[in-house]
Amino acid sequence: MREKVIGILKECMDKEITEITDDMELVADLGLSSLDVVDSVLAFEDEFGIEISDDTIMELRTVGDIVRCLEGK
């Protein structure tokens, strides 16, 4: 699961980061814009066949948050 999450995030990032950890923040550390976050959430929904609510999206701040969210679905 974590590897798929990181793969999707790397597709949305403007910069290349060699190592992505669970505690990295989507905006501050990975450089994602709010549009990039929305695009990645749509990709997660498609990849895993789930729906993520708007309230949940607002709580996703780190890579680990995304992994935990998806594991809970």
Q: Which two tokens stand for residue 68?
A: 């935990």
Distance CA 39, CA 18 (A): 21
Q: Which domains does the chain have, with CATH numbers?
A: 2-71 (1.10.1200.10)
Q: What pTM does this model have?
A: 0.90
Give the tens place of pLDDT for each residue, 33-73.
989 999 999 999 999 999 999 999 999 999 999 999 999 88
| Whether the predicted pLDDT of 14 surpasses 80 | no
Average pLDDT over residues 18-39: 93
| Whether the predicted pLDDT of 12 surpasses 90 | no
- Alpha-carbon Rg for the chain, nearest whole angstrom, is 11
